[in-house]
Amino acid sequence: MNKDIATPIRTQEILKKYGFSFKKSLGQNFLIDPNILRNIVSHANLTETSGAIEVGPGIGALTEHLARSAKKVVSFEIDQRLLPVLEDTLSPYPNVEIIHGDILEADVEKVIAAHLADVEDIMVVANLPYYVTTPILMKLLHDRLPIRGFVVMMQKEVADRITAKPGTKAYGSLSIAIQYYVEAEVAMIVPKTVFMPQPNVDSAVIRLIKRDTPPVNVRDEDFLFEVARMCFAQRRKTILNNLQNGLPNGKSKKDCILNALDNANIDPKRRGETLSIEEFGALSNALYVEFKK
């Protein structure tokens, strides 16, 4: 087997060879612990018939572990300076395809059709750049891609928010937006010491498995997420207060809001953080009737 990329010595050698300097603006933090990479990949349950999509391969540390476990790996890299590095470090792995581009602007469905048509299932496995974690997840979920789920590393605080349960401090509109599509859990905590350069905070790997159907049937998904955002706008305020401030002409339409809350069987004095995703679904459907029809 080839020598792991993700050791401190090998990483230093590669960076030196290419005179590579980290760009803070791209959130570049490379993993230098092969055990953690093996652990991340094991959470994805890949087989020799699986495909993997990676975002931000860096110098290929995680990519090579994916290549050893999956049939095919497609990796999106935005930083042009890393393309020759990856061509070198991943040369032993013919089952890896590097795509130069921003995944937020890519037609991922087309990429899957072109490169992953012959795999049985697809997982997104990545050490996500901290500054675009949420937009990347929301895009890949919103696009309804034929993927089984995600095993992704991110800032621990964001992972806590994504996986939070109602009634907890971390629970918010992000928890609802993601858990609407997937079942979410924290798979492992990753200390900042295993990165080069070291970030300021610890990371977490989360596992998101796509639901067959959402936990609640809503008239308008975007409106559900909008209602959730409104209800968390000021966490200490009641749902009624937040909705009056957030909905168009909410102050003058207090009766409509109260009517919707009543129809959804929700006490107007409750706070957003106490509502389950099912209750948010019922509330958004009731408000839809009052405000959108």
**Would you say 56 is a known binding-site residue?**
yes
Q: What is the largest CA-CA distance in the chain?
A: 69
Determine, yes or no, domain membership for 233: yes
Could you tell me the pLDDT band of residue 29, with boundaries at 50, 70 and 90? confident
Identify whether residues 167 and 267 lie together within a single domain.
no
Identify whether residues 151 and 91 lie together within a single domain.
yes
**Would you say 241 is a known binding-site residue?**
no
**Would you say 262 is a known binding-site residue?**
no
Could you tell me the pLDDT band of residue 19, with boundaries at 50, 70 and 90? confident
- Three-class secondary structure of residue 185 per DSSP: strand
265, pLDDT greater than 90: yes
Tell me the CB-side half-sphere exposure of residue 54, using CA atoms within 13 A. Answer: 28
Identify whether residues 195 and 235 lie together within a single domain.
no
Identify whether residues 188 and 274 lie together within a single domain.
no
What integer is the mean pLDDT of 123-148? Answer: 93
Identify whether residues 204 and 273 lie together within a single domain.
no
Residue 27: its pLDDT value, please? 64
Identify whether residues 195 and 80 lie together within a single domain.
yes
Identify whether residues 240 and 111 lie together within a single domain.
no
Kindly state the tokens that stand for 169.
């401090």
Count, in order, helices (H) and strands (E) of the chain: 12, 9
Domain coverage including residue 278: 221-291
Identify whether residues 120 and 231 lie together within a single domain.
no
Could you tell me the pLDDT band of residue 24, with boundaries at 50, 70 and 90? low
Q: What is the CATH number of the domain that holds 80?
A: 3.40.50.150
The CA distance from 151 to 79, in Å, is 22
Domain count across the chain: 2
Residue 263: φ, ψ to 5°: -65, -30
**Would you say 31 is a known binding-site residue?**
yes
